[in-house]
Amino acid sequence: MGVAYDWPRTLMARGAGALRAEHLRLRSQEARSGVLHCFLLDCSGSMVAGGKLARAKGVLLALMDEAYRRRDQVALLSFGGGKVELHMPPRRARVWNEAWITPIGGGGGTPLQAAVEQAGELLMRSAHLRRCIWLLTDGRTLEKPARPAAADVVHLIDFEASHMPLRRAERLAADWGAHYVRIG
C-alpha cells in the first residue's frame, strides 16, 4: 500500500517557502477510509405516523454528517408507496442540511424487498470499498429479504414506537447479523 499525502495540510505547513521534507503531512487512515455507506430510508405510511419519518431523517442527517467528517462515500435510497427511489448515487459525502431531505415524502406500502435488492446491486458496483448498509425502518412489513451478499456491515435502526411492538425489525437484524439500535 502506497503512502498518501494530505496536500492541503502539507501546503499550509510549507507556507510561502520551498517545499521540504518536514512539510509533508500524511493523510490519516480515517481520511482515506474507503467506505461506502448506503442508507435505506423507509418512507412508508407507518413511518409517517407519529413523526417516525421526521426522526429518521434527523438520524440520517447526523449519519451523513459523520460520513462527511470521515471523508466516506454515501448513497441514499428511499422506499415507500410501492416504489424505491435513488436520491443519491454513491459519491463522496458533503455537508448536508435539512433543505435537501425535507422534500422526501412518505406514505403507502413498504417495498423492503425491492429496496434491499436495489441496494445490493448498488453495493456490487463498489467492490473496491468497504460497504455498509444502514436500514432506517419501523419494520412494519411482512417482507423478509435476505441480507445483501455485497454488504460487509449492516446497521439496522428501528423506529418502531408501538405499545405492542411487533419486533419485526429486531428479528430482521438478528437474521442479518446486523448491528441493531432501537429508537422508540
| pLDDT tens, position by position, 21-79 | 787 777 665 444 699 999 999 999 999 988 999 999 999 998 998 899 889 999 999 99
154 and 168 in a single domain? The answer is: yes
As for how many domains the chain has, the answer is 2
CATH of the domain at 133: 3.40.50.410
Do residues 63 and 123 both lie within one domain?
Answer: yes
User: What are the grid coordinates assigned to 155, written together?
Assistant: 446497521
Residues 51 and 128 in one domain: yes
Is 79 in the same domain as 116?
yes
Residues 89, 171: one domain?
A: yes
Domain range for residue 170? 33-182
Say if residue 77 is in the same domain as residue 18: no
List all residues 6 or more positions away from 16 whose beta carbon is below 8 Å from its beta carbon. none
pLDDT digits (tens, 9 = 90+) for 75-134: 999 999 999 999 999 999 887 767 777 778 888 899 999 999 999 999 999 999 999 999
159 and 72 both lie in a single domain:
yes
pTM (2 d.p.): 0.81
Residue with cell 517557502: 17
CA distance 112 to 80: 8
